[in-house]
Structure formats: C-alpha cells, structure tokens
Structure 1
Amino acid sequence: MAVESVETPPDPERMIEGLRDTGYKFNTAVADIVDNSIAARATLVDLQILMDLRNNIRVSIADDGEGMDREGLINAMTYGSRRRSDPSSLGKFGLGLKTASTAFSRRLSVVSRPGDVPALEATWDLKHVAEQGWKLLLSDEPDAEALEHLNEVAPHKSGTVVLWTDVDRLIKDYRMPGGSAAQNALNKAIGGLRSHLAMVFQRFLDSNDKRARDVIIRVNGEKVLPWDPFCTEVSDKVGDHEQKVEIGEGKEANFALRAYILPRKEEFPSDAALKQSRLGNDTQGIYIYRENRLIQEATWLGMYSKEPHGSLLRVEFSFTHELDEVFDIDFKKSQISLNEDLWLYIRDRFLTAPRREANNRYRQGKRSEARKKASGYHDSSNRNIGSKEGEIGGANVDVQNPNTGMSQLTNRNGTFRIKLKIGHAQKPGELFVQPVDQLDDNALFEPAIIDGHKAVRINTSHPYYHKVYVPNLAQGVTVQGMDSLLWGLCVAELSTISDSTAQHFEEMRFEVSRILRKLVEDLPEPDLEDVAA
C-alpha cells in the first residue's frame, strides 16, 4: 500500500481570522503581553490606551526589557515561535502575543531594539494576510508614535513596544464619533484592566514581596498598585502546606497551599481596608499562581458552589513551571486541570477545616447582624400575648431563689419544684418573648420567668432563627405567629409538667431544636440588606 505525504497549508485568511476567536478577554489579552515584557526582564511596563475623536482606539505597550534584533523579532512574531531558553518564563507557548493582540485588533505591530541601535518594526496586518498570505511586514522606519513611546520608557537602551491599531473588538461600535458613550465604555474597560493587572502581577508590583522581582506597571500614566487577595495584614492564615508531586524519571516538584480567612465586614479596621478587600461572594475561592503570576482567580475548581457562608475564605495555590504538564496548563495560561487524587486531597483534606472555620465566623457575624436587625421586631408579640395572658391562665409559678432559678410550680398535676431561667426585661414591655444570644446546647427556645411572667427565650444564634425568622422580621403577623407558637409550647409545658416528665420535656425541646437545625440547612442565607431596619 502506497502512503503519500501531502502538504496541506491552512488558508491564511481563514486561519488568522479563526485565531481571533480563541476566547481571550481584554484583561487576559493585555496580561499576556505584559508576561512577555516581564519575561524580557523589563523593570517598567507602560501602557497607553487612547481614543481619538473618530473613536479609533490605539493600544501601545512599551517596556525597557531586553529587546530583540531582526532574527528575534521575526521569531517572536511567528505563530508557534521557538521556546524561550528560560523554562520558567511567563511566556510559554509562542502564541500569546499574536492571538491575544489580534483578538482585539486587525493590525499588530512590534517595535523593538536590543540596545542603543535603530529599532525595527514587524507587523501582522489581517487585510494584508488575506491578500498576500503569511507575509510578515518588516520595516526599519517604525511607527513614529510607537518609537516616541519606546524612547520615553527606554531612552537609548533596549526595549519593545507592542502596538494595536485598527482595534475593532474592544468596545461596541458607537455610531456617534467623539461621543461620551464610547469614551465612557473605554474608561470602564481601562478601569477593569487596572484592577486585573493589580491582582495578576501583585507579587511583581509589591516591592515588599520578595517572591518576585520588582516591576512597575503604568496605565495611561497612572501607576498600578498591587492588590493582595488574601489581605495578609488583617486576615488569619488557617492552613499552610507544601505537597510534593512526581513529574517523571524520579523527579519531584512542590506546590504550596495556603488558606486565609478574612475578617467579617464589621471587623475591618477601616472602611478603606474593607473596600480594598473586595469582600464578597465572587471573590471567595482558590487563587492559582504559576511562577508568582496569577493565572486563575476565585475558583473552587468544581469542588464547591459559591455560597455566602464561604465568602471569608480565600486560598493560595502556587506552583512553578515544572508542574505545567502535570496540571495541563492551557496556552492562555488561564486555567489548570488537576488529577482526581489531588483534587480530592485539596477538597476533602486540606480545605475541610478552613471551610468549617470560615463558615462559623461568617455565621457568627451574620447572626450578630441579625440580632441588631431583630431589635424591636418582637414588640408586637409581647403586646399581643400580654393582652391575652389573663385569659390563658396556666400554671402558677413561685420563684423561691432568683439566683439559682429554683421555683415552686403548681399545675393540674400538683405542686413541684423546678429550675427555670429567671430574668428581667431588657427593654420596656419585653415580658413574654425575649430574644437572647445563646441557649444551653444551642436549643431554639426554653421556658423562662421574666419579671414574674411566664415567657419564652428564643435563641437568635440558632440556624432556624437566622434562616426563618430573620427573612420575615418585617412581616409582623408572621413573627407574631412564630412567637406565639413557641410561647404557647412553653406555657403548655409548665401547665402539664410533673417530676416524672420534666426531663422528657427538656429532651423534646433539644430534639425539636436539632431537627429544625437540620431542616433549614439548605435554605438560602437571608439578605440582611432586604430586611427592614
């Protein structure tokens, strides 16, 4: 059987147009360009993102890195360029510069020089490729504005400028040239980019962080400040672990896992610190770093869904280039894939304790906030029960020792000695229903005597109160109905209890509290902002 080797070069236009749709977002595309600058040992990366009166956008990214000669420039502009000599380089697959740039622009130019020598320019123009095929445009007369930008950032020394023109996918096609809508849209994109760069390159931007060398990044003249997702100055580190992974041929490499629990909203030292933390549901999760550069943020990798009770927990996952193959790094360096054993180890062993602690702290804060919200919402119940107390009657209780709670109880079954909670109204009129911070064994409710009146104490720390009472605090009739039910159960207990049944009643309250705690587990967390003040 004859086998023929047939060369089938791709259609240039279809290929280069297809490569525009590799899923890049603006922030990740620019970050890929910055990767190349850092890989070239730049200490300054300066971004200019400008729009003229005709809504034409120009993106220019200049650095003072090593720069490239003619051969290096051609290689850098080749799709699937040769590997870098340094395997730890942030640039990895030889595709990012081209695919990231043409995802948003139809003309990509790179101006570079390896020292105090004339700069060269190489350009991919999608229109030219469609007409002439895979022909890279080379020029020894670079774009004047790009050259000026290079000279500002790297005067008389090596450096590179990446230039996007004919930008057609960054903002919508606003029909009114020079209008504010287009500029506002661009400003919003630039603001989002600053935040993204601050997070992705935090370790390079923070001069106090010695894990990465110092790099300055500016956007339209404004220095990008580092953003620490773990708020290490105010958060608690609750997990710190390094794990070895086999990488073949008897070699091993390490990755690090560190878990941090952020303060609750009310515990931050200042409003500025709270704002800086970006505390919220969307920012919880694992932050994954490759060579000190963030490649994936705020993800649970399919381990958990993002629930409000996990919003205080953020986890660092750091590794080096040695584990690229193990973790299946994609060519955009934007996500990883873990094998099942490692995935289960992180979920079931490393994260179990931090998640439990973060959950407890969150709920403590929410319950504290709920108690503040609940102030006054039981007043109508107290008034209603007070108006009916005489008609309802019930057992007679004679408190003999207020300090110990020992009382004499007389009901239809006789006279008995019993210990009750004896208390006083915390506010005028709070004689029958009294919300409290905690009860023994985390029971939901218990009978009590408040200033001589038969009463019920309700545990605001119980999940039933948090998830059922709190969302209905503004619904007066609903709260009165629940309060009346619990008060009625307590009065009925005192009316029918005897020496032989006292323990059974107590056990019944604890069992009811346990069952209700279980039943409300899957109910949503209340949005306290929606609870009327």
Structure 2
Amino acid sequence: MTVINKKVVPPHAIRTIEGLRDTGYEFNTAMADIIDNSIAANASKINVTIEMDFMGDINIFIADNGIGMNEQGIEAAMTYGSPKRENQKSLGKFGLGLKTASTAFCRSLTVTTRDSGDSQIYKARWDLDHVAEADDWELLLLDPIKQEIDMLDDISNNGSGTIVTWEKVDRLLKDYQDPSGTYARRALEKIVDNLKEHVAMVYQRFLDPRFVEAPDVNIKINNELIEPWDPFCTDETNTEVVAEELQEVEFEDGTQTEFSIKAYVLPRKEEFSSDEMRKNAKLSNDLQGFYIYRENRLIHYGNWLGMYTNEPHGTLLRVEFSFEYLMDEAFNVDIKKSNISLSTELYNWLREQFLPAPRRAANERYRKGQKKSVQKASKGAHDTSNKGIGNREKDLKMSDLEVNEDTNDVQVTNKKGKVRIKLPILKPAKAGELYVSPVDSIEDGLLWEPALIDTKHAVTINTNHSYYRKVYIPNLNSSVIVQGMDSLLWALSEAELGTISEDTKHHLKELRYEVSRILRRLVEDLPEPELDNHEEY
C-alpha cells in the first residue's frame, strides 16, 4: 500500500458530543463516574447536592477536597479522551467518564478547581448549546462565581478541591405538566434515594473505616452522610463463608497479578440475629450472584454473568470477586465500569469448579426454609378436594382394602383377584383430610402414592417434589385448579388399586416413579414460586 498523503480529520464537534450523550449511562452509574474522579484525586470528603429551583430546573453539584487541578490540569480533564493517568490504579480509566457521564444528563458541564500549589481558582465549561452555535470544540474558560468559591472553601477548608456542576439537566426527569410541581419533586426525591443506596453499595469499602485496603472517604448526598452497605452481611453471625480462593495469574508478557473470590451463604429470614440485620440484608432475587470489585470499587452485581438465571433458590448466595487494574483487559471492563465479560477459561473454572459447592450449600439452606413455607402455604389448600372426593368415593372405588395388623400390609381385592401390598396406613393430619394428604416426602421422590387414611382410599402428595412447588403452589388460591389436580392423582391411585395384581404391582410402582421423574424434568425451567405471603427462608 502506497501512502500518497496524510490528513488530520478531526471529528465534528457537536455531532460527536451529542452522539456521546447516548452511550447508555444510567443516572447512578453516571454519578458514580464523577465520584470515581474525586476518589482518584485523593478526596476524603465528597458532597453531592441535587436541587430543584422554583421553575423546576435541576442543578447538581459534586464537590470534593481532592488535590484539585492547575490550569493545564483542568484543560486536560475537560478534553475528550484526556491523557492517561499516571496512577493506573485510578478508578478513572478511559479519560471520557467526566464528559460522557455528565452530558448524558445535562447540556452544561462545569468544573471549578484549585490545587494546593496555587491560590487561583480555575473554571471551565462545556456548554453544548455554545458548541452547536460555534460549530467547533470551544471550551469556555470562566471566572468562578461566589457560590462556587464558598462551596470550594467550605469542603476544602480553603485548600485544594474540585466542584463538578451539571446545569441544563434535561434527561433526568420525564416531562411533567408542572415541572416544579409535587409529582416532579417526588420523582426527584426517589431518584436521590436510589442514588444513596447505590453509593452505599458501590463505595462500601471506601465508606467503611474497618476496610483498611481502601482509603477512607466520607460521602454526603444532600447533607446526609452515606453509611456503607455490606452485601455479604459479614457482621451477621449466621452468615457462612462456604468457599474462597486466591488465584494467581500470569500474562503472556510475564505480568503477574491475582484475584480473590469468596462465596457467602446468607441466613434465611428467620435465622437473622435481629430484625435490623434481616432488613439490612435486602434478601432479593435481584441481589444474588456476583459482586465484582475493581480496585475495591464495585463495578458489577446482581446476576451470574450468564452462567445461571436468577431464581429464588439462589437468593441466599452472594459471591465476592475482587481484582486489580492489571486484569482490566482480561475482564473487558467497559467505559462505564459497570459491566465485565469473562474469558472462556475463567468462565468455565467458575461454573464447573468453584460455584457448584456454594450453590449446593445455598440451595440446601434455602430449601429448609422453603419446606416450611410450602407446608404453611399448602395448609387447608386441599380441603375442597377432600370434600369433593368424599362425596363420590363410594361410587368410584374399584377395590376393597383390608389391613393385616400383624404384618402391617394391605390385602387388595379387585376384579383381578387378591394381592398383598405395602401401603401407607395413616391417621388424618387434621379433621376431614381423609382422601388427599400433602406430606413432606415420599420414598424414591415419587410425586404421589396410594394410601389408606382412617380406612379411606386416599392419595398422599409429595410437597417436596418440584411439580408441587412449581405447579401447585402458584395455584393454591384457585380451588378449582387444585381440586382438578388432586382429583387426577386420586383417580390414578384408585385406578392402580383397582387393577393391581401380583404380576403388575411392581410395574405400577415403576410407572409412578417414571412419571414423577419426567414431571420433575418437565418443570425444571418453570420459575420458582414467590412465597412472599408465606415464606420463611
């Protein structure tokens, strides 16, 4: 290839800036990008103020007492694709976060700053409307106003620091008929509350003075000091660490690093040592899975990175995964530092070697509580079935059963003749429960089994079978559906007793076993039931 000439082709200013507004930032993620810059500047105090004026206009200020910037520093920081930081551990990564995160929600981004070696305050602004008018990359250099000087002096004690200001905020709230009215203000309050929770989680290690590996940082949002939120409930005595690894990594160029991974199984709701601990745990289907930390900053949480779907039985399992900046490329950390993807080798190691044991432990603990919940939920659910079958049993029964008290077996007399079989002989668990009885388990994991309850032809149903959990439980409020399913299982049991013989008794049990096995497989992909009204996990 022959190069005839070279020409620098700069990007079109306003089209580029407007395009970068749509990089997919959510508000919490965007705010975290600005806070990252403050932490990278060694700030120990960060104050976030989000306010709405009487016209409904929103202004946002992020002030810190970090090292600040001189004139060259602020121009570099405001450059799209700013120079790479000397400290590669910095939470800022691509030199785009300040600009793209801010303009994702506002049309005017201002930075006001003062460093420790210069008493002068520098101020620069990207105003998208001005860029459009000038049709060029014109950064406005301005004099600070009194509000900014006072804010900077207050947080820095007249020392170094920086203020990031968002004005012309046009993408935070939807359009309200009354932009400053009650509904708009309530919506903004909800956004602020969500941000507080997000900051408490993402910067937990910086906010918690007990975590010595990260510098201490105080963050206030609208004058409220943010307390750290620990997703692993490490202060709860009943939290279990069920697996942990420290893995060394060596890259092709000889660079060596390591990552750590630790799996926690949280207590079931009734196992927490206090109501406060239980409430603070925030047990939720959306908060299970990996919690991935880059340089002690949470960058991803709340799922299994495509390995598994989030289901209630995984609610108690949270996995801490920590790595340093040297593994950025291996984890493909994105521009927003909110997503990662794993190499095939690491993905397979996690899924096939590390996670199986923690998943079994979490599942076992969950099932113990779920078993109680299912029992509670199913209480009384089969009453209509018992009544309906009782009204027709005499007309429908196909055999006579006689109990041998000495051998505890049952002689069945039907149209095929007589045969002796083992059959559960039960007392009613409660008054009226004579024909359909939910039980904790049945041998060989069967879904149902013929039984005798107080001399009545009955069926027991295994509430621990996944078909009962996933099909019965979601429909317990519909007596018609429950009665229909109960009637089917009672009919199968009665038909078995009415046709059983010495030659077929083993085959009929095998049939129940195979049907139970097939049903278990068929419902594998059905969601686990939400037991909010009953659950005690």
With normalisation by structure 2, the TM-score equals 0.90
Q: CA deviation at 1:135?
A: 3.4
Tell me the CA shift for residue 44 of structure 1: 0.9
Deviations 1:93-138 (A, max 9, x none): 2221122222222222222222382422222223333344333333
Give the whole-Å Cα distance in 1 for the aligned partners of 2:491 and 2:330. 63
1:383 aligns with 2:384: no
Superposition RMSD in Å = 2.7
**3-state SS of 2:405 partner:** strand
1:25 aligns with 2:30: no
- Cα distance 1:114–1:508, how it changes in 2: closer, same or farther (>3 A)? same
CA shift for structure 1 position 393: 6.0
8 Å contact kept, 1:416–1:498: yes
- Once the 2 structures are TM-superposed, how far is the Cα of residue 335 of structure 1 from its aligned partner? 1.8
Residue 395 (structure 1) aligned to one of 400, 403, 410: 400
| SS of structure 2 residue aligned to 1:326 | helix
Deviations 1:187-225 (A, max 9, x none): 122112111111111111122223312111100000112
Instruction: Determine helix, strand or coil for the equivalent of 2:21.
Output: helix
| More deviation, 340-349/407-416 | 407-416
Counterpart of 2:38 in structure 1 is: 37
Aligned counterpart, 2:166? 164
- The superposition leaves residues 293-312 of structure 1 with CA deviations (integer Å, 9 ceiling, x where unpaired) of 01122233232333344333
> Number of aligned pairs?
528
Q: Which runs of 5+ in 2 are unaligned?
A: none
2:110 corresponds to 1:123: no
1:502, CA displacement in angstroms?
Answer: 4.1
Whether the 8 Å contact between 2:399 and 2:413 is mirrored in structure 1 is no
Change (3 A) 1:496 1:109: closer
Q: Percent same amino acid among aligned pairs?
A: 53
Q: For 1:101 and 1:409, how far apart are their aligned partners in 2? A: 79
Q: Name the structure 2 match of 1:101.
A: 102
> How far apart in 1 are the matches of 2:389 and 2:126?
81
Quick check: 15-24 or 182-191, which moved more? 15-24
**What letter corresponds to residue 100 of structure 1 in structure 2?**
A
Candidates 324, 328, 332, aligned match of 2:328: 324
Aligned to 1:292: 296
1:303 to 303, 307, 310: 307
Judged with a 3 Å threshold, the aligned counterparts in structure 2 of structure 1 residues 488 and 98 are, in CA distance, closer, same or farther, namely closer
Q: Tell me how far 1:271 sits from its aligned partner.
A: 4.8
Whole-angstrom CA distance in 2 between matches of 1:408 and 1:14:
87
**Corresponding residue for residue 445 of structure 1:** 448
Q: Look up the equivalent residue of 2:36 and give its one-letter code.
A: D
- Find the residue that maps to 2:474 and give its secondary structure: helix
Mapped partners of 1:9, 1:486: distance in 2: 74
Equivalent AA in structure 2 for residue 397 of structure 1: E
- Quickly say closer, same or farther: Cα 1:14–1:453, change in 2 above 3 A: closer
Match of 1:343 in 2: 347
Report the Cα distance in structure 1 between the residues aligned to 2:531 and 2:447, rounded to whole angstroms: 21
> Equivalents in 1 of 2:414, 2:472: separation in Å?
32
Deviation at 1:336, TM superposition (A): 1.9
The amino acid of 1:20's aligned partner reads: R
Greater alpha carbon shift after TM alignment, 433-442 vs 176-185: 176-185
The whole-number CA distance in structure 1 between the counterparts of 2:526 and 2:335 is 41
CA displacement, residues 329-370 of structure 1 (integer Å, 9 cap, x when unaligned): 222222223222222222233223333443454455444323
Give 1:134's match in structure 2, choosing from 93, 117, 137: 137
Partner deviation per Cα, 1:162-183 (whole Å, 9 max, x = no partner): 1122222222343535322222
Distance change in 2, residues 1:410/1:38 (3 Å): same
Question: Equivalents in 2 of 1:476, 1:85: separation in Å?
Answer: 68
Deviation at 1:48, TM superposition (A): 0.9
Q: What amino acid maps onto 1:378 in structure 2?
A: H
Counterpart residue number, 1:112: 113
Distance 1:477 1:421 in 2: 27
Q: 1:438 & 1:345 partners in 2: Cα distance?
A: 35
Out of 212, 230, 233, which is 2:232 matched to? Answer: 230
TM-score for both structures, normalised by structure 1: 0.90
How many angstroms apart in 2 are the aligned matches of 1:288 and 1:502? 56
**What SS does the aligned partner of 2:151 have?**
helix
Structure 1 counterpart of 2:148, one-letter code: A
User: Structure 1 pair 200/448, CA: closer, same or farther in 2 (3 Å)?
Assistant: same
Worse overlay, 225-234 or 285-294: 225-234
The offset of 1:272, in angstroms, is 4.1
Give the Cα separation in 1 of the matches to 2:19 and 2:394: 82
- Among 142, 145, 149, which residue is 1:143 paired with? 145
1:34 is displaced (CA, Å) by: 0.7
User: Which one of 280, 287, 292 corresponds to residue 284 of structure 2?
Assistant: 280
Q: Which runs of 5+ in 1 are unaligned?
A: none
In the alignment, residue 402 of structure 2 is paired with which amino acid? V
Offset, 1:509? 2.8
Quick check: 1:367–1:466 contact (8 Å CA) kept in 2?
no
2:373 is aligned to: 369
